[in-house]
Amino acid sequence: MCGRNVRRSRGVTLGVTNSKLFTPMTLRSMDLSHRGWVSPMCQYSADPEAAPGVPTDWHLMHLGQFAAGGAALILTEASAVNAEGRISPRDAGIYNDEQGRAWHRITEFVHSTGSVQTKIGVQLAHAGRKASTYWPFSGRNGSVPATDHGWQAVGATDESFDGYAAPRAMTEGEINAVIDDFAAAADRAVLAGFDTVEIHAAHGYLLHQFLSPLVNTRTDAWGGDEESRSRLTLDVIDAVRARIPDGMPLLLRISATDWISGGLDADSSVRLARRAADHGVDLIDVSSGGAVPGAKIPVGPGYQTAFAEQIRRETDLSVGAVGLISTADQAEHLLATGQADGIFLARAALRDPHWWQRAAHDLGADLQWAPQYERAAANRGKY
């Protein structure tokens, strides 16, 4: 299977300790200097009037700071594959050439700034029925009307999410068109200089809407049993895999459980991961939830890592763990106990964009710093 083209590279360390966090890893032809990575985080900072979907200087600063801080891999925010796939009017996209050029500026900056030869990947996404909503710091909630740069969302069905405006159920032609949009976005990702691509199939967005039996009640070839509900995700994987180089790894973010009886669970996610591997996915980025409101999620440190561990144990894929992972010791424990192959950070990275340099100090590992910052690393006993 294509997913077997992975080397987990255990046992080689950068520093004087046997730190798992600072062990190199290779996915296809992409060499990662260690296993501490940046999770996709929406910034809602594109200008919906002047340049819809185009990444800005904010994105350059936001992503560049993690490269300077020692992250081995950075994933962009969810980047829409077409205009109606944006979560909000302020979301970034990768569906036209202007956006592609703006992303290229950012990938070049990250590659030139990283203290550890940082890699950067784009997360390709479509929000489905969760599109055209207000961004978190707008002071407003719900769906954005057309008078405020909004649009009608589309989805697996015409059922709305938690008070949002009702979407339009996608036709066969629209489903095939969105597969083509993912493929075209993959083309732009390669031209923009990204090192890897992640497909977003989690958090209640379009692909997850088709995957979850709680949402997908279609009776055609795109709904029904698990195989049919997986069809869109697998077709998107095929389309993207066909457009990126053989040596470029393909990542897939999933919600491993819907946290509601009758929805997706760990076992169904293992089956999806196996199918994804057969279609060319190299790593599963394991998150959870988001398909339907009202789920009781036991949020706490590492609350999603059991799902990552099961997928890792029962498939040939590498996995990334995410979700309230904040300390070097916690990350080290998850890797040392075989619960994951890599650690995605979100809030912890926002709080400390140099988290990886601090973690290396705490774990006694040697991590190269950008030369402009080396004076801060000189006296490691007083970080």
Active site residues: 205
What lies within 8 Å, CB to CB, of 227 at 6+ separation is none
What is the maximum span of the chain, computed from C-alpha positions, in angstroms? 65
CA distance between the termini of the chain: 45
Distance in angstroms (rounded) separating the CA atoms of residues 235 and 241: 10
Indicate if the alpha-carbon torsion angle 234, 240, 245, 251 is positive or negative. negative
Can you read off the two tokens belonging to residue 318? Answer: 């590498």
Long-range contacts of 12-19 (CB under 8 A, 24+ apart): 13/365, 14/360, 14/365, 14/366, 14/367, 15/360, 15/363, 15/364, 15/365, 15/366, 15/367, 16/364, 16/365, 16/366, 17/363, 17/364, 17/365, 19/332, 19/360, 19/363, 19/364, 19/365
Distance in angstroms (rounded) separating the CA atoms of residues 288 and 286: 7
Of 7, 16, 56, 62, nearest to 35 by C-alpha is 7
Can you read off the two tokens belonging to residue 332? Answer: 């080290």
Can you read off the two tokens belonging to residue 63? Answer: 């992503």
**Are 118 and 367 within 8 A, CB to CB?**
no
User: SS3 for 123?
Assistant: strand
Can you read off the two tokens belonging to residue 73? Answer: 């891999």
290 HSE (CA, 13 A, CB side)? 22
Can you read off the two tokens belonging to residue 180? Answer: 């083509």
